Structure 1
Amino acid sequence: MARTPFRTVLAAAAAVALGLQLSACSSLIAGSPDATYDLTAPSDLPRGGVRRGVLVVAEPVAVAVIDGQRIVVKPNGGQVTYLPKSQWSDRLPKLLQARMIESYENAAWLRSVGRPGDRLSVDYQLVTEVRAFQIDAATGEAVVELTAKITNDKTGKIVAGEVFQARQPLTGAVTGPSATQALDQALKRVLTGLVTWTGQRV
């Protein structure tokens, strides 16, 4: 039986080792964690006068497409995709609820604001629905749209209702940083309108 030269054996072993290393590197790259992004509340809000009313902010209602951590991109009117390797820091409705409360606190229109179950002596409840929170790839814009209703907690009657929308152009291609920055700017404009509108009606 012919014997395999020692150098051939070494070369084969080196090739196998290199292949394993490349495979491990590929696995690490493929399994790298998603980039995580946050949203911010506006800080330069119009200040209220005398603080009045106690408001509870319910978690916004949202359809399954946007009720999660994935960042929605719509290539056209009917198609829904998600920004790859990117996510919000929490479920979007929960994150929006937190930023709404923070916005009301920054504006100081109300005596107090909180979540359901915070043991507040509630005057009003804010009920919202997220109609849109996405990147419109066709126009290169971030789109944020919310509906809002204020209800009297004592009578259950609707005090007022309104729709708030903002669009913000992206700076460059649709990437994690550009998309989330544009969505954040659009949200700030929506929250500024929401807080001012609420403060004038409670």
Structure 2
Amino acid sequence: MKLKASTATQRKVAQATAIASLAFLAAACAQAPRETFDLTTETGVLRSVALRSGPAVFVPEPAAIAPTSSDRIVIRAGDDSVAVLPGVQWSESMPRLFQRRLIEALQKCGLSASSNFGGQSVLQTDVRRFEIDVARNLAVIEVSVQLVESGGGRAKAAQIFVEETPAPGHIGSPAAQALGETAARIALRIGQWTRARL
């Protein structure tokens, strides 16, 4: 009888140990740091534009909805469903990163752009897509832009910009690099468009 109790006890201890080990592994995996990327600017895109001082433009943080509004890299499947790449992230929320690239591009286009409130004009942006389209092997960014008077709030001009870049790699660094190049190009187009209307 004692032998049976001892065997049952050993079995319970072994099960408890196995469960504890699995829980520890799951916790370790859950807490593993994600690989982090920034929206690197393709300097060749912006280098051809001279830096000048010009009209002041306030650039607030772009609007976006989840998961695009987060710090995760978004992918879109062939059935139009969206998901995020596991194990990777942006260095901060995507709208904040893109805001910085917009400001940089506007400054390169000769505008005194800033994230500080002020200036005669406000560049309002709504990021509708900022993702890797897996079915088409493309990095896709779509941004709705509106140039507004800072005083009365009257819209001066509006435009929707779409930029696509080949993205054969759908994970980690290749995906981040493709989105970085796409962001640099669309930011430059928005900067040139804004400059032409001020």
TM-score bin (small chain): 0.7 to 0.9
DSSP-derived class of the 2:192 partner: helix
CA contact (8 A) 1:41 1:103 kept: no
For 1:69-80, what aligned pairs fall within 5 Å after superposition? 69-80=71-82
CA contact (8 A) 2:163 2:182 kept: yes
Unmatched runs of 5 consecutive residues or more in structure 1: 3-14
Which of 94, 97, 105 is 1:95 aligned to? 97
The 10-residue stretch of structure 1 (77-86 or 55-64) with the greater mean CA deviation from structure 2: 77-86
Q: Which residue of 2 aligns with 1:33?
A: 33
User: 1:135, CA displacement in angstroms?
Assistant: 1.0
User: 1:156, CA displacement in angstroms?
Assistant: 2.3
**What letter matches 1:109 in structure 2?**
G
User: 1:43, CA displacement in angstroms?
Assistant: 3.4
DSSP-derived class of the 1:60 partner: coil
- TM-score, scaled to structure 2: 0.80
Q: Which residue of 2 aligns with 1:196?
A: 192
Q: Which residue of 2 aligns with 1:167?
A: 164
Q: Using the alignment, how far apart are the partners of 2:42 and 2:151 within structure 1? A: 30
For 1:55-70, what aligned pairs fall within 5 Å after superposition? 55-70=57-72
User: 1:50, CA displacement in angstroms?
Assistant: 6.3
DSSP-derived class of the 2:87 partner: strand
Seen in structure 2, the aligned counterparts of structure 1 residues 193 and 179 have a Cα distance that, compared at 3 Å, is same
Once the two structures are superposed, residues 155-183 of structure 1 have per-residue CA deviations (whole angstroms, 9 ceiling, x without a partner) of 422121111111111234x2111111111
DSSP-derived class of the 1:66 partner: coil
Q: Using the alignment, how far apart are the partners of 1:190 and 1:55 within structure 2? A: 18
**What letter matches 1:64 in structure 2?**
A
Q: Using the alignment, how far apart are the partners of 2:36 and 2:136 within structure 1? A: 24
Once the two structures are superposed, residues 16-48 of structure 1 have per-residue CA deviations (whole angstroms, 9 ceiling, x without a partner) of xxx79x766675445311111110334342435
Q: Which residue of 1 aligns with 2:180?
A: 184
Q: Which residue of 2 aligns with 1:129?
A: 126
Once the two structures are superposed, residues 90-148 of structure 1 have per-residue CA deviations (whole angstroms, 9 ceiling, x without a partner) of 1111111112112223x1512x221143xx4x111100000100111111111111111
Indicate the structure with greater helix content: 2
**What letter matches 2:95 in structure 1?**
P
The 10-residue stretch of structure 1 (89-98 or 69-78) with the greater mean CA deviation from structure 2: 69-78
Q: Percent identity?
A: 31
- TM-score, scaled to structure 1: 0.79
Which of 83, 86, 99 is 2:85 aligned to? 83
CA contact (8 A) 2:167 2:178 kept: yes
Which of 131, 136, 141 is 2:138 aligned to? 141
Q: Using the alignment, how far apart are the partners of 2:51 and 2:93 within structure 1? A: 34
Unmatched runs of 5 consecutive residues or more in structure 2: 3-13
The 10-residue stretch of structure 1 (69-78 or 79-88) with the greater mean CA deviation from structure 2: 69-78
Seen in structure 2, the aligned counterparts of structure 1 residues 116 and 138 have a Cα distance that, compared at 3 Å, is same
